[in-house]
Amino acid sequence: MNTYCAVSVNKIHEFFMSVLKLPVSTGFIHNAVKKYAGKLDYAISSIKTAIYSAPVVHVDETGVRASGETTWLHNVSTEMYTYQHVSEKRGQDGMREGDFLQHYKGIVIHDGWRPYWKFQFEAHGLCYAHILRELQGVIDNNPKQEWAELMIWLLCKMKSTKEKLMDTGKTSASAYYCRLYKGYWQGLIYQGKQNNPIEYSDKGKRKRNIARRLADRLDEYSEDFCRFFWDFRVPFDNNQAERDVRHAKVKKTLASPRAAIKVWRSPKGQSFYC
């Protein structure tokens, strides 16, 4: 109920008291979770080993409240396995505490947050779900940003083309499609930059609006953004990791105002939330 169904300690206590008529204290529940968390070393080691061997992994992080303070739940996962750890830090130092990303050499899918670029992965794959939302935001704030609307069309077209090719057994796009869509991509980015020129303040400081920053980012990381099309092992989005961290967010939402997520650290330095 606590670790899988995301029910808070207080809610479990209330359930046992009101439904089962058992006087189970919140301390008993917490200690039970802590006791069995300490027996998971072999399972955690097996999960990490399995993820190490995966060619592509998804990563993400999310804030959780622990003992009245914000801590960070870091996630590394595949379709079959999920490894998570808790840290007081969100950035690179917090990621390294999980003792995984600094050793992994495959392709990592993420949302483009800067600390992920500091690791020496084989390659990066970026989440288009985030980019589609940003492009839609540009359109909503300025309907004249035609390049953003066309970029959404292009991304959806690339995705549908990839799916059709995969249905025929292909593992990558042909040179024809690569040249075709790369030309569209570069043309739309050029249009986005032209429509949103860089302005300079009186002191010579650069000023870029949101649309220009997005166009520059799509240009700078074009190979990583398009990797899902060049290499069919790479997915279109990072929804896998976002689904895996949702468990903690649901638990945080269901918890009563007085119930903070408890964090327990094993003797080997691995952290668990309960």
User: Which H or E run contains 177?
Assistant: helix 175-195
What torsion do the CA atoms of 6, 8, 12, 15 make, to the nearest 10 degrees?
A: -90
The mean of the pLDDT values for the chain is: 87
At 150-193, the pLDDT tens digits run: 999 999 999 999 999 999 999 888 889 989 999 999 999 999 99
In this structure, the number of other CB atoms found within 10 A of the CB of residue 186 comes to 13
263 has pLDDT over 60: no
Q: What percentage of the chain exceeds 70 in pLDDT? A: 91
More confident residue, 239 or 5: 239
In this structure, the number of other CB atoms found within 10 A of the CB of residue 43 comes to 9
* Residue 211, amino acid: A
Residue 251 is predicted with a pLDDT of 67
264 has pLDDT over 70: no
d(CA 92, CA 80): 25
Residue 253 is predicted with a pLDDT of 56
129 has pLDDT over 70: yes
Contact of 238 with 246, CB cutoff 8 Å: no
d(CA 105, CA 28): 42
The two structure tokens encoding residue 228: 């899902």
Contact of 105 with 121, CB cutoff 8 Å: yes
Pairing state of beta strands 107-110 and 82-87? unpaired
For tokens 């899902």, the residue is 228
273 has pLDDT over 50: no
In this prediction the pTM is 0.81
At 212-259, the pLDDT tens digits run: 999 999 999 888 888 999 899 999 999 999 999 887 777 665 554 444
Mean pLDDT calculated for residue range 58-86: 90
